[in-house]
A = this chain, B = another copy of it.
Amino acid sequence: MAAPIDYLRDGDAIYERSFAIIRAEADLTRFTEAEADVAVRMIHACGLVEAARDFVFGPGFIAAARAALKTGAPILCDAQMVAHGVTRARLPAGNRVLCTLSEPDVPALATRLGTTRSAAALELWRDHLAGAVVAIGNAPTALFHLLEMLDAGAPRPAAILGMPVGFVGAAESKDALAQDPRGVPYAIVRGRLGGSAITAAAVNALARAGL
């Protein structure tokens, strides 16, 4: 039998040390204190301090997202991984976490609309959009589709986390949001980086800060 392995086993101590390393290494000077708090947790989720360069928090984003979460806004997610990354126990008002991607109507809707299932699934958000916190962490087409819905007059969410990941459309969809946020406070991760873990971490940080 091998000797016991020596490693830190205390969850709180691991978090503390992790956040200290991130704050020592990451350049967070562009951010307000509240933005930096969210940024640290986003970096923690992806393991890459350099990612902070690509974080953009639009004007009023933190306050708008916090306020919405506090008053019970639902969290609309484009992917099950995002939804399952949101820590329910941390949500300030038992907020509903909704992902419509697996709804039975979605494949037919995608065919009819000539788009991906990830984008078509957003059509089922319409009744929940007003005042919601939107968390897009996977599909660029979902973020593009959200912008099209807003252009066509859909109800305004309270805040948009636009953080899809990838090589085709990810950078472009996030630029499109930042260049014209349609009156909605937003946060993005510029370029190819993003993903469900970063997005869920941002939601969790906003929820924690709101307590």
Chain A residues close to B by CB (< 8 Å): 1-2, 4-5, 7-11, 14, 17-18, 21-22, 44-48, 80-81, 83-85, 114-117, 119, 140-141, 144, 147-148, 151-153, 165-170, 172-173, 176, 180, 191-197, 200
Contact = CB atoms under 8 A, between A and B. Distances in A.
A9 B48 contact: no
B47 A193 contact: yes
A173 B9 CA distance: 12
A153 B2 CA distance: 11
* Identical chains bound together, number: 2
B47 A195 contact: yes
Contacts of A2: 151, 180
B11 A116 contact: yes
Residue in A48, A168, A195 with the greatest tally of chain B CB atoms within 10 Å = A168
